[in-house]
Amino acid sequence: MERRDFVSHLSMAMALACAGGLAACTKHMADAPDNNNGGGNAKLTADLSTELLNTGNFKIGGGVILIRIAAGNTPSAFSALSSTCTHQGCTVSTFNTGSDLIECNAPCGHGSRYTTTGAVQTGPATAALPKMTVSINGNTLSVS
């Protein structure tokens, strides 16, 4: 094999390895549950002794956005919604405590805004974020 052929084959092999690795990594990131999920079927958990202490605090992970919307450690004090924007599937970026809206921003998102109930406030999204179930056992909040 000539040097030019060897370099060509090596480049092709590296390109395939990178593409495969990137695809695996992207899938892992998209499907990765929150590291602090407490096991079981929980998609996201929170330790209420140290997290989400104040109204407006939020956490995104495991395909969930979890927002404290009121005082107290009862399920009704929290909103848990899918964090996957219904426009084109980006993970929502943040919860804006000034506007009380969930934002899907660049670089992935296109500016959709949702209320804490999941309803679309501003498009381009047209469908609400699906609601998820919150349960609390002691200081451990679980979203499923």
- The contact set with ligand FES (CB under 6 A) reads 85, 87-88, 90, 104, 109-112, 124-125
Query: Under a CB-based contact definition with an 8 Å cutoff, are residues 26 and 126 in contact?
Result: no
Query: Nearest approach, Cβ of 124 to ligand FES (angstroms)?
Result: 6
Nearer to ligand FES, 46 or 104 (CB): 104
Query: Nearest approach, Cβ of 92 to ligand FES (angstroms)?
Result: 7
Measured between alpha carbons, how far is 76 from 69 in angstroms, rounded to an integer?
8
Pairing between β-strand 112-114 and β-strand 134-137 as defined by DSSP bridges? unpaired
Nearer to ligand FES, 13 or 127 (CB): 127
Nearer to ligand FES, 72 or 123 (CB): 123
Closest CA relative to residue 51, chosen from 110, 136, 121: 136
Name residue, tokens 């593409």: 19
